[in-house]
């Protein structure tokens, strides 16, 4: 049976093969009729275009449109990277996507120019329900409110019905007023990567107008960046970046839980008063009253130096003349009284009465009075200190004439030139300007500084000109070197006035005369005198510090006195007493500028001025190498910089006392001015192995052949500090 079955099966297979072969050789026959088309399938999900947002290095947001109907706002916006590629994939269900919207409306005071943003969607901040902060709509709370168009464009429909919602702060939505929609996003991934962005859109819902509408523009973020870096103004953990977002959130309604106003005008003025903000206690005594607010980490007092313009608050440092600002003069026309009380803590409150329930300070006071404080400085800018007839005798006596003139060329009298305590009318004589000024050992600053009210050095003539003759230790070839005569003096004016007055008057107010230094080469009067190498952009100093720096100031010529090798000074405590440890500090300009309070409050910067961003002060100028940023290495060879040997927290050479002076070669000194107490032994060895010197031998510091610039270009230096040119 088994054999038979296999035989039969094989026969059938052979027969089938023959038949198929025959079919292949014959006629195929006619094609059959086509069948009917099938039913359409379900549509697939739309494709995506662009880059998924979780893959982006940065996100740029832009609100393109908003619409309003029956109490509901819908906003259209787009997200893209710097190359303009759309970023899709934003989702309320993604735990990393912290993306939210805020609303604020602009309220104007009837019969007044005063206007203020008032937040909507407010939330209470204390248990009693009496203090408020701006609330938000978050996409994670309404996933379905967000529509992703898969190409970097999105639509979001607010879930709040604005005409029926009960705002805790009692703000009623008015579609006839300018409304501001603001985006706030901050993504913090587990990898440490972050995305943060703000955007805003102003429009009137009732008319759908977004052009030519009422707004409130007093200052710009760019003005803030005069003193701050962008990184230092990334508030609330880095999620709030733009002035417009700050304005809409920090408005006239919001306070901390203790009812302390955090309205932007009040808060900014109060913070910038720093330790100078004062008030009265319950007994009427004037006491320090730094601005103190309750934060998430507890109460925080802004009791540290915060505004470097001295000796008065220069409002125009922030309220600049900028014609692009629609409301640049609003602070003068009708100031917000809440802003006034940021500085004037208690007196305005005493003025409040039934006659002035809104506490409108400008009903009686002109805000322009703040500018009056600057009048002496503005007048002094037109004054001049003219040096003539400079000569140096074989006996090493320098002689010259000096005329201090006003804007009309009239000479200033001796009693109108200020002298009190440390502030004396000096003329500082220097040479080797292009080499960062004289060697301190040859001629210390105390010898080169001439007090023009010292009768042993200067004579005031009957016409109010001054004749000076002083001996000092000049180099033998002084006639062929660059010579500088720098006047550093103040003239007295009536307080808040441009009128000059005797300095012994009760209302006398001294202001610096800022004039160019006299520079020459004595044996070649036609020679072009070398200037100091480009280090800093002096205008950036004035933009932040206003008219006056720490002390005796004529422009930014600090190194004429604070030479690189000037002797060390004592480190003092908060009371001005020298530390018992004997710790010393460098008094050179570079060290003082890097260590100045406000410039550096610790390793990495103050949080206000980020010292790691060199371009804060070292702005690009044309000069050395085509483009000079002022921090190129390798261009100051031959200098010796004094640095303290004492390094807190490090094991020091027991042979060196804490007061010992070291000398460093230029590039090493530049790094040590910030990093000395943090330098590891390996880092110090790295500098020495590349030609740098620091130690007790001044001549070796001068002769050092540093190779730092080979690797550490300006671009690399910025990258090391977390920035880019």
pLDDT at 534: 80
Cα separation, 538 vs 555, whole angstroms: 8
Give which of 607, 638, 603, 629 is closest to 716, Cα–Cα: 629
Write out pLDDT tens, residues 217-251.
888 888 888 888 777 787 777 777 888 999 989 99
Q: How far is CA 703 from the centre of its chain?
A: 38
**DSSP states of 218-248 as a string?**
S--HHHHTTTS-GGGG-BGGGTB--HHHHHH
The Cα-based distances of 613 to 364, 457, 534, 536, 591 in angstroms read 44, 44, 18, 13, 16
Write out pLDDT tens, residues 485-535.
999 999 999 999 999 999 999 999 999 998 999 999 999 988 999 888 888
Spell out a b/e string for 530-554, using b for 16 or more CB atoms within 10 Å of the CB, else e. eebbbbbbeebbbebbbbbbeebbb
User: H or E stretch including 450?
Assistant: strand 449-451
pLDDT at 352: 56
Least confidently predicted of 349-358, 490-499, 535-544, 700-709: 349-358
Q: Which residues have CB under 8 Å from 494's CB, separation 6+?
A: 376, 500, 501, 505, 507, 508, 509
Cα separation, 676 vs 670, whole angstroms: 10
pLDDT at 323: 87
- Pair of tokens at residue 675: 């990093």
Write out pLDDT tens, residues 573-593.
777 788 777 778 899 999 888
Question: Is pLDDT at 8 greater than 90 in this prediction?
Answer: no
Write out pLDDT tens, residues 657-698.
666 889 999 999 999 888 887 888 899 899 999 999 999 999
Domain ranges of the chain: 49-213, 378-531, 569-721
Average pLDDT, the chain: 85
pLDDT at 610: 63
* Proportion of the chain above pLDDT 90, given as a percent: 49
- Name the CA radius of gyration of the chain, rounded: 36
Cα separation, 139 vs 99, whole angstroms: 6
Contact (CB, 8 A) for 426 and 451? yes
- Taking 3-state DSSP, the helix, strand and coil percentages for the chain, each rounded to the nearest 5, stand at 25, 25, 50
pTM of the model: 0.81
Least confidently predicted of 296-305, 436-445, 603-612: 603-612
Main-chain dihedrals φ then ψ at residue 261, nearest 5 degrees: -65, 135
pLDDT at 462: 97
Question: Is pLDDT at 19 greater than 50 in this prediction?
Answer: no
Q: How many helices (H) and strands (E) does the chain have?
A: 16, 33
Write out pLDDT tens, residues 457-472.
999 999 999 999 999 9
Q: CATH number of 49-213: 3.40.50.1860, 3.40.50.720, 3.60.20.40, 2.60.40.10?
A: 2.60.40.10
**Residue 92 vs residue 231, higher pLDDT:** 92
Sort strands 87-88 and 51-52 into parallel, antiparallel or unpaired. Answer: parallel
């Amino acid at each position: 049976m088994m054999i038979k079955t296999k035989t039969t099966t094989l026969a059938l297979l052979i027969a089938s093969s023959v038949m198929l072969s025959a079919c292949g050789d014959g006629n195929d026959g006619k094609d059959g009729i086509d069948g009917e088309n099938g039913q359409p399938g379900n549509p697939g999900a739309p494709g995506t275009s662009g880059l998924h947002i979780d893959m982006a290095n940065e996100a740029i947001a832009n609100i393109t449109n908003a619409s309003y109907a029956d109490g509901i706002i819908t906003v259209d916006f787009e997200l893209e990277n710097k190359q303009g590629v759309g970023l899709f994939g934003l989702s309320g269900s993604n735990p990393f996507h912290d993306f939210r919207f805020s609303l604020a409306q602009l309220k104007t005071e009837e019969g007044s120019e005063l206007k203020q943003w008032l937040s909507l969607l407010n939330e209470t901040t204390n248990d009693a329900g009496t203090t408020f902060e701006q609330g938000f709509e978050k996409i994670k709370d309404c996933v379905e409110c967000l529509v992703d168009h898969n190409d970097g464009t999105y639509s979001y429909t607010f879930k709040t019905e604005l005409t029926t919602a009960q705002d805790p702060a009692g703000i009623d939505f008015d579609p006839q007023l300018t409304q501001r929609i603001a985006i706030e996003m901050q993504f913090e991934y587990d990898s440490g990567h972050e995305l943060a962005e703000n955007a805003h859109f102003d429009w009137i819902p009732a008319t759908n107008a977004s052009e030519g509408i009422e707004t409130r523009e007093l200052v710009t973020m760019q003005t803030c960046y005069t003193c701050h870096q962008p990184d230092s103004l990334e508030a609330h953990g880095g999620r709030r970046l733009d002035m417009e977002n700050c304005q809409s959130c920090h408005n006239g309604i919001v306070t901390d839980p203790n009812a302390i106003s955090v309205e932007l005008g009040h808060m900014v003025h109060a913070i910038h008063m720093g330790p100078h903000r004062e008030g009265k206690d319950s007994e009427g005594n004037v006491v320090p009253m730094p601005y103190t607010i309750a934060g998430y980490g507890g109460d925080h007092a802004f009791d540290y130096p915060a505004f470097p313009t001295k000796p008065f608050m220069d409002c125009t440092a922030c309220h600049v003349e900028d014609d692009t600002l629609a409301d640049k003069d609003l602070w003068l026309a009708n100031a917000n009284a809440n802003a006034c009380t940021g500085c004037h803590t208690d007196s305005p409150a005493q003025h409040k009465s039934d006659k002035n329930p809104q506490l409108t300070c400008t009903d009686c006071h002109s805000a322009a009075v703040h500018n009056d404080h600057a009048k002496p400085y503005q007048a002094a800018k037109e004054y001049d200190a003219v040096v003539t007839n400079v000569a140096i005798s074989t006996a090493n006596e320098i002689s010259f004439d000096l005329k201090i003139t006003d804007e009309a060329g009239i000479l200033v009298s001796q009693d109108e030139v200020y002298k009190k305590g440390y502030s004396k009318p000096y003329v500082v004589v220097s040479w080797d300007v292009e080499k960062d000024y004289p060697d301190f050992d040859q001629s210390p600053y105390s010898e080169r500084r001439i007090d023009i009210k010292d009768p042993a050095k200067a004579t005031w003539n009957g016409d109010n000109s001054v004749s000076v003759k002083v001996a000092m230790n000049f180099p033998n070839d002084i006639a062929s070197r660059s010579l500088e005569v720098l006047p550093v003096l103040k003239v007295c004016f009536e307080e808040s006035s441009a009128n000059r007055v005797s300095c012994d008057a009760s209302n006398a107010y001294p202001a610096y005369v800022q004039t160019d230094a006299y520079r020459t080469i004595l044996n070649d009067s036609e020679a072009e005198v070398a200037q100091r190498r480009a280090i800093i952009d002096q205008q950036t100093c004035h933009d932040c510090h206003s008219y006056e720096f720490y002390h005796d100031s004529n422009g930014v010529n600090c190194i004429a006195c604070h030479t690189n090798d000037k002797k060390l000074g004592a480190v003092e405590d908060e009371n001005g007493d020298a530390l018992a440890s004997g710790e010393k500090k460098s008094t050179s300009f570079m060290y003082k500028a890097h260590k100045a309070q406000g410039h550096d409050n610790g390793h990495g910067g103050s949080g206000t001025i980020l010292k790691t961003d060199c371009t804060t002060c070292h702005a690009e100028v044309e000069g050395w190498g085509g483009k000079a940023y002022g921090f190129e290495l390798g261009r100051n060879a031959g200098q010796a910089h004094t640095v303290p040997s004492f390094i807190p927290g490090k094991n020091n050479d027991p042979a060196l006392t804490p007061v010992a002076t070291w000398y460093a070669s230029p590039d090493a000194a530049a790094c040590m001015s910030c990093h000395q107490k943090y330098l590891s032994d390996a880092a110090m060895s790295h500098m020495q192995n590349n030609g740098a010197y620091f130690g007790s031998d001044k001549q070796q510091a001068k002769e050092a052949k540093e190779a730092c610039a080979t690797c550490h270009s300006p671009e690399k230096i910025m990258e090391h500090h977390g920035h880019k040119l």
